[in-house]
Amino acid sequence: MGIDVYVSNQTINKWFNSILKELDFLNECTIHKNLDSLYNSLLNVNNARVVLLDVEDRASCEYVASIHNGFDNVHCVAIGLNRNISEIFTYFNLGFSSYIDLSYSAIEVYQAIHKSLGNSKYLSTSQQELLLEHLTHNLEGLAKCITIPSSSNGQNNHNGHHDSIKYSEKSLTEKEKKVCEFLLKGFTYKEIANSLGVTSFTINQRVKGIYKKLQVRSRSELSFRYLS
């Protein structure tokens, strides 16, 4: 594994150098002064690389697209000052595996780097707390769903769709809301069942009901819908 670093922000650069020293990673890192140097370096390697990019430099974000289009073995990690959880998920959508900010400990930086090699997303402890705070604050947003009632004359059109589509809001039941909280915190079905004193089968049925009402197909869709 190799590590390539491009950091232009002085505040980030000073902090990150101290982290690399603590991890004894300086000898494993190639520090680049500009994006052209980074790109040329990646052209000449075949092994897996982790690229740590300073996203305070907006050109870095655009650069990610070219990396993912041209290099299958390169994994990108963002470094920045932003601690807004919605913005962090925006970087995930751009292809970054994690977003390192100045609240990261040395061990969390290490974990973020190694998680990226497995194409896994990583959130630090403080980012997880921000996510849970965000989810808890907006939990009522999960109660909104779209329903498609029958048309006024009770007939469907020739395509099998309703002639008119109306939107309404319908609340999840209290039991479903509780299950949602556990889902968004990463609990397994078995853990949720044990916490609520019911069977895993019951939780499975409640999750199916939640997904149907909110028109999502997976826990990840539930989370991203909720964050948006």
Closest CA to 210 of 165, 174, 166: 174
Classify each residue of 110-119 as buried b or exposed e, where b means 16 or more C-beta atoms within 10 Å of its C-beta. ebbbebbeee
Tally of CB atoms within 10 A around 186: 12
pLDDT at position 24: 87
Domain boundaries, the chain: 2-122, 138-227
pLDDT at position 108: 92
Query: pTM for this structure?
Result: 0.59
* Positions of E strands within 55-185: 74-79, 99-100
Residue range 103-112: mean pLDDT, rounded: 91
**Region of poorest pLDDT, from 64-68, 85-89, 183-187:** 64-68
33 Cβ neighbours under 8 A, 6+ residues apart: none
Domain 2-122 has CATH 3.40.50.2300: yes
- C-alpha neighbours within 13 Å on the C-beta side of residue 107: 1
Residue range 140-163: mean pLDDT, rounded: 43
Domain 138-227 has CATH 1.10.10.10: yes
In the chain, DSSP finds a helix count (H) and a strand count (E) of 10, 5
Closest CA to 50 of 122, 123, 119, 108: 119
Per-residue pLDDT reduced to its tens digit, 8-54: 889 999 999 899 888 888 778 888 988 888 888 888 777 778 889 88
For residues 34 and 5, what is the distance between their CA atoms, to the nearest angstrom?
10
